[in-house]
Amino acid sequence: MDFSAPHAGFVIASYLVTFIVLLGLVLATWLRQRRAREQLKTLEERGSRRRRRAGKDGDSA
Amino acid sequence: MQKYANPTRFYALSGKVLPWLAAATLLAFAVGLYLALVKAPQDYQQGETVRIMFVHVPAAWMAMFCYSTIALASAIGLVWRHPLADVAAKCAAPIGASFTFLALVTGSLWGKPMWGTWWVWDARLTSVFVLFLLYLGYMAIWQAIEEPLRAARVAAIVALVGFVNVPIIKFSVDWWNSLHQPASVLRMDGPAIHMDLLAPLLVMGLAYTLLFFTLHLIAIRSEITRRRIRVIELAEVQG
């Protein structure tokens, strides 16, 4: 690509906007999945701790 | 097909497919950008500005493809009440909205040097802008209604009604006088552009399509996880 060509700025701007939007989309999608996975893991750990505690309480009763 | 539409099975299968899909997406973008920015020659009329086409046209294709995916998944969700179809429709919307935004912005960046204006309210541009508004409205419905089943039903009806805009976009340049040029790739008598410019366009189109499938799979997996979280939280509140 010839960067000194007329209207080269419009070409650069197009690729820059595309890169920023697509990178933002990828990051947002990936972060959302990571957050959901971490939240599920926390909930499952809390649930299994509660079940263990309930099991112990049941044994001692 | 029904077997893979089970959310648990889908989650396991998509986990295996995703790394390959992501690698194919990166490869397609690398080849596509090389062809678009290095190998493709200047156009005899447009000069370097023709390179905008390699990011603009695939974005416009994907804008329509994503909305068609939403409409199809919505129809499946409405008829067969399949929860994964609703999830697929919901997850395609932000991706489609991003592609539509890109089609509008890069189209505008091409229009200024070539047409002498950033924007005209002609049939093609206006119908793509309406598509962008449809995406925003569709996503707003999912945000506004908390109960997923009810949100899915309302959103599906809106998506199906809005689908009428997709053929309008495609044929707007044939039906009305438009500043926008008619189709030059998807034509009955074959593409009207030279192979040197068609190759990068098709490879970039493939890269955008692979990116959509990659992000869509990740988003669906994320939504399945969020629904599991919702079920656990509801069970905790009730129990």
- Summarize pLDDT for B44-89 with one digit per residue, the tens: 888 889 999 999 999 999 999 999 999 999 999 999 888 799 999 9
Contact A21 B98 (CB under 8 A): yes
**How close A31 comes to chain B (CA, Å)?**
10
H helix runs in B81-178, sequence order: 83-115, 123-144, 148-162, 165-175
- Give tens-digit pLDDT for B182-235: 777 777 777 778 888 999 999 999 999 999 999 999 999 999 999 889 888 888
Q: Is the ipTM, as predicted for this complex, more than 0.85?
A: yes
CB-based contact B225:A40 (threshold 8 Å): yes
Nearest to B91 by CA among B210, B192, B191, B226: B226
Residues B143 and B93 sit within 8 Å (Cβ to Cβ): no
Helix (H) / strand (E) containing B176:
none
Banded model confidence at residue B146, pLDDT cuts 50, 70, 90 = confident
Tell me if chain A has a CB within 8 Å of the CB of B237.
no
In this complex, do B225 and A29 lie within 8 Å of one another by their Cβ atoms? no
pLDDT at B132: 98
| Cβ–Cβ under 8 Å, residues A10 and B49 | yes
- Domain extents in chain B: 55-182
Q: How far is CA B82 from the centre of its chain?
A: 22
Above 70 in pLDDT, residue A58? no
The tokens of B122 are what?
């002609």
Higher pLDDT, B192 or B171: B171
Query: A1, A2, A17, A18: which to substitute to probe chain B, counting the most B Cβ within 10 Å?
Result: A18
CA nearest B169: which of B155, B183, B158? B183
